[in-house]
Amino acid sequence: MPRDSHENKGLYAYFAENPDEAHRQFFEPAPGLSRRGFFAGAGLTAAGGLLGMTIPFYGNMPPGLVPAAFASEDVLVGKDGLTLLNDRPINAETPAHLLDDAITPTARHFIRNNGLPPEDAGAAGWTLAVDGLVENPMELSIADLRARFEVVTMALTIECGGNGRAFFDPPAEGSQWTFGAVGCAEWTGVRLADVLKKAGVKPGAIYTAHYGADTHLSGKAGEPPISRGVPIAKAMTGNVLIAFGMNGGPLHKQNGAPLRLVVPGWPGSCSQKWLTRVRLRDIVHDGPKMTGTSYRVPAYPVAPGDEVPEDDFEIIERMPVKSLVTSPETGAAAGRNVEVRGHAWSGDRAVSAVDLSIDFGRSWMAAELDGPVNPGAWQDWRRRVAFPEAGYYEVWARATDSAGEMQPFAIDWNPKGYLNNTMHRAALRVA
Ligand SMILES: Nc1nc2c(c(=O)[nH]1)N[C@H]1C(S)=C(S)[C@@H](COP(=O)(O)O)O[C@H]1N2
Ligand SMILES: [Mo]
């Protein structure tokens, strides 16, 4: 059995990396079973063993395909329509047209795990430690957070730093996110700033360090899969929340229940899930995925495929200006006159314009653009578009932010495939 291989990485990553070998291991009848009669021979494969039944047409399964049953409910329980990119750790993105709502429903918020979520994640006994360079270290229950600090609700955009990685050429290793590693849910919690003020930030503190209760894929205790932080100034921003509520209900288990950070506008990795500790440090935090080339890009533009010395990488802070077309769905049939709509965002900044093109960028028309409901929320935009005749069109959306930065057409390539904010293109077949 391909135990080490698929159980350490997840079936999807295993099949993607080594499709022929995975196929052989999962779909060829185990030796010794093949002569035990028709049914046994026809279906007693490793895949059949995992499913608990034979696969009568196993011989037809194309190499590289993972049985759809393994993309199943037990992984994406409480989620609706997400595309599973990997199951260990769970990585699942939301198709753009399912992000049409102004506020992303809990069932449609993407999932990006680096390790395994804690088994026991009840709110009752949960505590958050606030320590390091503070005057008064604290240990707070969720009830303490509610009782001792102002509770606020804000719509906040979380986008994975690797969203759009799938389009890098040469390809970048890592989860092959297309467009949907982004969401804007309504989070309820307390401001990290208020908690840090109560704890008393000591003069030497320059950076936060975030810790969660998830475990490393290796299963080794005391080895967190990810622990990132932000400069104190960012932590003190009024829209950085310690959240215990999501869209009026509890957090989804995979989105960090019962407690997480939400750091809008910066790589999603800053928003520690299953949050147990915030520690203030006098150095730039050096936890897992803070160092090396993780969530970092070269300090200067590089040509696609260039080798870049590790010392030349710098930590990604704000995420760049970006937009999505959420309706109509790409590939859909459309009439001659349709409302095109979506969202736009730019880390720490407001979006000032969204323009659309239906003639492959030759001409542009302004969309109607709403302001953010609060700082850190994405902004909705819409425009009724008339198509001159029947045929194939693409709607291209291009956002510009308050600093005049505009989405590019071509990817600014970097080795790890971060920050792809190229224009979103929706294909339409106009009748
Ligand atoms: N404890 C913990 N927090 C985490 C992660 C993780 O693996 N463990 N993944 C991070 C990354 S890389 C992203 S993009 C966001 C995704 O948040 P979501 O899964 O709620 O969409 O969570 C961040 N917080
Ligand atoms: Mo991420």
pLDDT digits (tens, 9 = 90+) for 39-66: 344 456 677 666 667 777 878 888 777 7
Look over the chain and give the mean of its residue pLDDT values, rounded to a whole number. Answer: 91
- Give residue 268 CA to ligand 1 midpoint distance, Å: 6
Q: Whose CA is nearest to atom 2 of ligand 1?
A: 273
What is the token pair recorded at 250? 């509890």
Q: Does residue 170 have a cis bond before it (omega within 30 degrees)? A: yes
- Position 74 scores a pLDDT of 64
Q: State the residue for tokens 């869209």.
A: 247
Query: pLDDT digit string (tens) for 303-340?
Result: 999 999 999 999 999 999 999 999 999 999 999 999 99
Best residue among 75, 83, 112 to mutate for probing ligand 1, ranked by most atoms within 8 Å of CB: 112
- H helices then E strands: how many in the chain? 8, 22
Query: pLDDT digit string (tens) for 120-162?
Result: 888 889 999 999 999 999 999 999 999 999 999 999 999 999 9
Count CA atoms within 13 Å of residue 207 on its CB side: 17
Residue 283 φ/ψ, nearest 5 degrees = -130, 165
Under the banding of pLDDT at 50, 70 and 90, the label for residue 219 is confident
Handedness of CA 323, 329, 333, 335 (dihedral sign): negative
Q: Whose CA is nearest to atom 15 of ligand 1?
A: 268
User: Residue ranges of the domains in the chain?
Assistant: 11-73, 90-315, 322-430
Task: Label residues 261-299 b or e (16+ Cβ within 10 Å = b).
Answer: bbbbbbbbbbbbbbbbbbbbbeeebebbbbeeebbbbbe
CATH topology of domain 90-315: Sulfite Oxidase; Chain A, domain 2 (3.90.420)
Under the banding of pLDDT at 50, 70 and 90, the label for residue 9 is low
Query: pLDDT digit string (tens) for 171-218?
Result: 999 999 999 999 999 999 999 999 999 999 999 999 999 999 999 998
Read off the amino acid at residue 415. Answer: P
| Percentage of residues in the chain having pLDDT higher than 90 | 78
What is the token pair recorded at 157? 């955009």
Sheet of 83-87, strand order: 83-87, 90-93, 111-112
Q: Does residue 298 have a pLDDT over 50?
A: yes
Under the banding of pLDDT at 50, 70 and 90, the label for residue 33 is very low
Q: Whose CA is nearest to atom 16 of ligand 1?
A: 112
Mean pLDDT of 393-398: 97
- Give residue 181 CA to ligand 2 midpoint distance, Å: 8
Q: Whose CA is nearest to atom 11 of ligand 1?
A: 269
What is the token pair recorded at 235? 């932590």
CB 264 within 8 A of CB 240: yes
CATH number for region 322-430? 2.60.40.650
Q: Does residue 264 have a cis bond before it (omega within 30 degrees)? A: no
- Position 331 scores a pLDDT of 93
Under the banding of pLDDT at 50, 70 and 90, the label for residue 34 is very low
Read off the amino acid at residue 410. Answer: A
Higher pLDDT, 109 or 47: 109
Query: Which one of the ligands is nearest to 118 CA?
Result: 1
Q: Does residue 32 have a pLDDT over 50?
A: no
Read off the amino acid at residue 163. Answer: N
- Position 2 scores a pLDDT of 38
pTM, rounded to two decimals: 0.87
- Give residue 170 CA to ligand 2 midpoint distance, Å: 20
Count CA atoms within 13 Å of residue 210 on its CB side: 30
- Position 7 scores a pLDDT of 54
- Position 8 scores a pLDDT of 54
- Give residue 269 CA to ligand 2 midpoint distance, Å: 5
d(CA 267, CA 269): 5
Q: How crowded is residue 194: how many other Cβ atoms within 10 Å of its Cβ? A: 18
Q: Judging by beta carbons within 10 Å of its beta carbon (0-12, 13-18, 19+), is residue 362 exposed, middle or buried?
A: exposed
Under the banding of pLDDT at 50, 70 and 90, the label for residue 70 is low
| H-run or E-run covering 55 | none
Alpha carbon 231 to chain centroid distance?
A: 22
